[in-house]
Amino acid sequence: MTGSKLRIAILGLNYAPEPTGNAPYTTSLAEGLAAAGHTVHVVTGYPHYPEWDVRPGYTGWKRTEVINGVSVTRLRHHVPTKPTSVGRIHMELSFGLRVMFARWNKPDVVLVVSPALFSCALAMIRIRSRPNRPAVGIWIQDLYSRGVVETGTGGGKLGQFATAVESKILRSADGVAAIHDRFKRHMVKALHVPEPSVEVIRNWTHLPASPTSGAAELRQRLGWQPDDVIVLHAGNMGKKQGLENVIEAAKVADKRRSRVRFVLMGDGNQRKQLEASAAGITNISFVDSLPDVEFQLALVAADVLLVNELPGVKDMAVPSKLTSYFNAGVPVIAATDEDSVTAYEIENSGGGVRVDADDPLALVLTAEALANEPSIGAKLAENALRFRHEILSEAAAVAHYNDFITSLASSRGR
């Protein structure tokens, strides 16, 4: 990467050590830009996701630290015990208000990370109010308004309001980075963002190559029997994942005396409810989030990796877990709507198979079929790894963002 060295501020609610969601990408990008010679300052929140509880040791109203060459300012904000729509808005507004009055270290370019839409709005108010303002780009990881509509959160009026706010925010930026072509299409057609303003830059695999040993030992430690067909869902357990479908699939597996065993690994606001619903079902278990190396080992140790989505979820997000899944070299099952972004990714990669989002029997039968035809699973795993290396390169993505940010700075004469 070449060109001028810039002062870059990245504003986003989530950052390391949060292990899932947007945080690994924001962290990886910030560190990549710093390694390229830019001065990077991140303004973020206190780590709380996916547990929805501030992590132990993060006390006080504000804290600063330097992580791998990146200056990080953390601001205390509201964290809802139950992330309802009202609770999420409260959190975003509390973070956004703190961001408005925080020090950004006089950046040449500000990169605002969404889906924290309302904190983005407050940041944009500060940016646009300054006569000699920095260039500003918005990095869209999730389409906020589509999330409100597709998950049924808050009703139609909230969806209309979120659409109007998102449209105004995106149109006020100097440039927008979208992680998928489907996102760009929606922004241009439904949110009326000028097409030349939107750059598609895919998310990448932020994990190193998967470990080649230790999987058998981890299976044993987690109580996974050698003849179990482990179908692992790793990551957040929230509303949009629709994991009630997995509970129903485990019931089906019980009745069929199937070797298929479902494992939900991670945390989220729906976990306690899911655990209660799964009481008495033998073909399902829950595992707490694992540290990085063990997390990768768990992915490798599974027989199938699962993406499950709520019926009706189509355009709001590209599941971040897919980049980790493709890195593991394990076949993927996506329980999702036929015309969803996730279905497109599965088809485009060749790394898995799709079943309907609300068909638990199909989920069990497909897992059994992959176990009974290991050559098919091996081919899917090979496709996934090839897609990871050819399409999901971190170096290529960071270089693309470097060009994007540099062009924003040039547009403002910075």
Question: How far is Cα 27 from Cα 48, in angstroms, rounded to an integer?
Answer: 15
Residue-wise pLDDT for 308-357, tens only, equals 999 988 776 688 889 899 999 999 999 999 989 899 999 999 999 999 99
Q: Where are the alpha helices (DSSP H) in 153-303?
A: 155-172, 181-189, 215-221, 244-256, 271-277, 292-301
pLDDT score of 319: 82
DSSP-assigned states of every residue in 54-73:
PPTT--SSEEEEEETTEEEE
Label residue 292 by pLDDT band (50, 70, 90).
confident
Phi (first) and psi of residue 138, to 5 degrees: -115, 130
Secondary structure E strands in 201-358: 229-234, 260-265, 284-287, 304-308, 332-335, 352-355
Q: Which residues of 110-121 are buried (b: 16+ CB within 10 A; e: fewer)?
A: bbbbbbbbbbbb
Question: How far is Cα 120 from Cα 112, in angstroms, rounded to an integer?
Answer: 6
**Any idea which residue has 């050698």 for tokens?**
226
- Would you say 13 and 142 are in contact if contact means Cβ atoms under 8 Å apart? no
Cis amide prior to 226 (ω within 30 degrees): no
235 and 361 inside one domain: yes
Q: In total, how many domains does the chain have? A: 2
- Would you say 266 and 20 are in contact if contact means Cβ atoms under 8 Å apart? yes
Task: Say if 81 falls within a structural domain.
Answer: yes
239 and 286 inside one domain: yes
Task: Evaluate if residue 5 carries a pLDDT over 60.
Answer: yes
- Would you say 277 and 244 are in contact if contact means Cβ atoms under 8 Å apart? yes
> What mean pLDDT do residues 107-129 have?
91
- Would you say 55 and 22 are in contact if contact means Cβ atoms under 8 Å apart? no
- Where residue 60 falls (left for φ over 0; alpha for ψ -120 to 50; beta otherwise) is left
Task: Say if 109 falls within a structural domain.
Answer: yes
289 and 375 inside one domain: yes
To 10 degrees, what angle do helices 341-349 and 321-328 make? 20
354 and 237 inside one domain: yes
- Strands 62-67 and 109-114: what pairing? unpaired
Label residue 154 by pLDDT band (50, 70, 90).
low
Q: What is the CATH number of the domain that holds 353?
A: 3.40.50.2000
Domain range enclosing 134: 7-204+393-411
187 and 240 inside one domain: no
Q: Where are the alpha helices (DSSP H) in 292-340?
A: 292-301, 321-328
Considering Cα of 8, then 13, then 14, then 20, what sign does the dihedral take? negative
228 and 350 inside one domain: yes
Task: Say if 2 falls within a structural domain.
Answer: no
Task: Say if 1 falls within a structural domain.
Answer: no
- Where residue 214 falls (left for φ over 0; alpha for ψ -120 to 50; beta otherwise) is left
- Mean pLDDT taken over the chain: 92
Question: How far is Cα 307 from Cα 303, in angstroms, rounded to an integer?
Answer: 14
Task: Say if 343 falls within a structural domain.
Answer: yes
156 and 229 inside one domain: no
Which amino acid is present at 209?
A: A
pLDDT score of 393: 87
278 and 292 inside one domain: yes
Label residue 246 by pLDDT band (50, 70, 90).
very high
Question: How far is Cα 302 from Cα 275, in angstroms, rounded to an integer?
Answer: 21
- Where residue 332 falls (left for φ over 0; alpha for ψ -120 to 50; beta otherwise) is beta
371 and 401 inside one domain: no
Proportion of the chain above pLDDT 70, given as a percent? 97
CA quadruple 47, 53, 55, 58: dihedral, nearest 10: 70
Task: Evaluate if residue 1 carries a pLDDT over 50.
Answer: no
> What mean pLDDT do residues 157-174 have?
88
Task: Say if 210 falls within a structural domain.
Answer: no
Task: Say if 319 falls within a structural domain.
Answer: yes
Of residues 348, 303, 347, 307, the one with CA closest to residue 329: 303
- Is 371 strand, coil or helix? helix
Question: How far is Cα 354 from Cα 130, in angstroms, rounded to an integer?
Answer: 49
pLDDT score of 160: 85
Burial class (CB in 10 A: 0-12, 13-18, 19+), 177: buried
Phi (first) and psi of residue 238, to 5 degrees: -120, -170
Residue-wise pLDDT for 357-413, tens only, equals 999 999 999 999 999 999 999 999 999 999 998 888 888 899 999 999 999 999 877
11 and 113 inside one domain: yes
> Residue 396: which residues within 8 A CB-CB, separation 6 or more?
204
Question: How far is Cα 201 from Cα 404, in angstroms, rounded to an integer?
Answer: 9
Residue-wise pLDDT for 223-232, tens only, equals 999 999 999 9
179 and 321 inside one domain: no
319 and 172 inside one domain: no
> What mean pLDDT do residues 146-168 have?
78
Proportion of the chain above pLDDT 90, given as a percent? 73
> What mean pLDDT do residues 80-100 have?
90
Task: Say if 209 falls within a structural domain.
Answer: no
